[in-house]
């Protein structure tokens, strides 16, 4: 029912999968996510919609093989099918045409979910400046694809192996210093620590440009994806929201980033134990 049309290795442990799902492709919007199950008795995991094609009826996902279930998903081959694929879920990105210019900051695998948002802004007439970063050139992917929906595309790597040697915060700060009056919003998706420091970089500029916004996607802290488990609670000032039903995108200036990063570590031991058992099972079958 949810047949895998293509499967491509983008970077070490990072795979692109195109899956047939005409009904979902018809409804999908930038910023939303899916719930995927590779097998009937397996775990449900949330994955961001990286792209969709309404005419072909396909959904594109980018998956980093880290835990047991993500490894089971990427173990499926072209022609096989996912057991379940539910969506679109979550609130779609607000494509505000009054922003004028947006800075899209993508870190690592964050390139995948930021692509459809950048594309939607570009198609709406908003100028898009993309800042794409990774630890090294081997972990970069979709650079041409992101550049194709950007008016300006800046690539940085921590070690300088591709593009400019810098953290993503450096070009963001430079753009805000020189063209801050043009920028309506800074969008950031990637590792929580990167999003936190992108937010801290943008925040001081609100004194000069009070209408400047900063939006972050917290899709990585979701578990159940339906608002039932409470695992994706996030503090926004004096309010508490659920990432899966109220988000996944929030005002980054209000996010309690320390609690977000703490929440990401809650199940580390359990996930490590589960992965070790899975690997042992695979080894015993060989």
* CA atoms of 231 and 260, how far apart (whole Å): 11
135 backbone dihedrals φ, ψ, rounded to 5°:
-65, -40
Confidence of residue 74 (pLDDT cuts 50, 70, 90): very high
Check pLDDT > 80 for residue 241: yes
* CA atoms of 69 and 38, how far apart (whole Å): 7
Question: What number is the average pLDDT over the span 123-131?
Answer: 97
Superfamily of structural domain 2-89: Translation factors (2.40.30.10)
| Chain segment 64-73, per-residue pLDDT in tens | 988 888 889 9
Confidence of residue 264 (pLDDT cuts 50, 70, 90): low
Question: What number is the average pLDDT over the span 1-13?
Answer: 94
Question: What number is the average pLDDT over the span 35-51?
Answer: 90
Listing DSSP states for 191-227 in one string gives -HHHHHHHHHHHGGGGTT-TT-EEEEE-GGG-SSSSS
Question: What number is the average pLDDT over the span 75-79?
Answer: 94
Spatial contact of 244 and 220, defined as CB atoms under 8 Å apart: no
Confidence of residue 41 (pLDDT cuts 50, 70, 90): confident
H or E segment and range at residue 64: strand 58-64
180 backbone dihedrals φ, ψ, rounded to 5°:
-55, -35
| Chain segment 9-28, per-residue pLDDT in tens | 999 999 999 999 999 999 99
Confidence of residue 283 (pLDDT cuts 50, 70, 90): low
What percentage of the chain carries pLDDT values higher than 90? 72
Architecture label for domain 97-264: 3-Layer(aba) Sandwich (3.40)
Check pLDDT > 90 for residue 209: yes
Q: What is the pLDDT of residue 271?
A: 67
Distances (CA, A) of 45 to 5, 56, 92, 102: 20, 25, 19, 30
Name the residue ranges covered by the structural domains of the chain: 2-89, 97-264
Q: Are strands 51-53 and 45-48 parallel, antiparallel or unpaired?
A: unpaired
Rounded to two decimals, what is the model's pTM? 0.90
Q: What is the pLDDT of residue 285?
A: 67
Closest among 13, 198, 44 to 114, alpha carbons compared: 198
| Chain segment 133-152, per-residue pLDDT in tens | 999 999 999 999 999 999 99
Please state which of the ranges 34-38, 195-199, 234-238 shows the lowest mean pLDDT. 234-238
Confidence of residue 280 (pLDDT cuts 50, 70, 90): low
Q: What is the pLDDT of residue 284?
A: 66
Q: What is the pLDDT of residue 123?
A: 96
Q: Are strands 213-217 and 81-82 parallel, antiparallel or unpaired?
A: unpaired
Intrachain domains 2-89 and 97-264 with the same fold:
no
């Amino acid at each position: 029912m949810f047949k895998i049309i293509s499967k491509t290795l983008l970077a070490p442990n990072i795979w692109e999968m195109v899956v047939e799902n005409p009904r979902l492709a018809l409804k999908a919007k930038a910023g939303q996510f899916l719930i995927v199950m590779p097998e009937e008795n397996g775990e449900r995991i949330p994955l961001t919609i990286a792209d969709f094609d309404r005419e072909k009826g396909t959904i594109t996902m980018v998956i980093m093989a880290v835990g047991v279930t993500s490894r089971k998903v990427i173990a499926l081959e072209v022609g096989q099918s996912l057991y379940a694929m539910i969506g679109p879920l979550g609130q779609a990105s607000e494509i505000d045409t009054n922003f004028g210019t947006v800075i899209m900051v993508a870190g690592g695998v964050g390139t995948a979910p930021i692509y459809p948002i950048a594309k939607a802004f570009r198609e709406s007439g908003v100028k898009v400046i993309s800042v794409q970063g990774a630890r090294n050139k081997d972990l970069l992917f979709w650079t041409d694809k992101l550049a194709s929906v950007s008016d300006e595309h800046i690539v940085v790597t921590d070690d300088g192996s591709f593009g400019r040697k810098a953290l993503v915060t450096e070009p963001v700060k430079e753009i805000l210093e020189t063209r801050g009056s043009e920028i309506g919003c800074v969008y950031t998706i990637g590792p929580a620590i990167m999003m936190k420091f992108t937010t801290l970089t943008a925040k001081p500029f609100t004194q000069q440009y009070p209408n400047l916004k900063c939006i972050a996607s917290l899709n990585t802290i979701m578990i159940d994806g339906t608002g039932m488990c409470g695992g994706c609670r996030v503090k926004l000032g004096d309010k508490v929201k659920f990432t899966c039903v109220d988000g996944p995108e929030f005002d980054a200036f209000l996010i309690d980033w320390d609690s977000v990063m703490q929440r990401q570590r809650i199940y580390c031991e359990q996930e490590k134990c589960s992965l070790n058992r899975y690997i042992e099972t695979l080894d015993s079958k060989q």
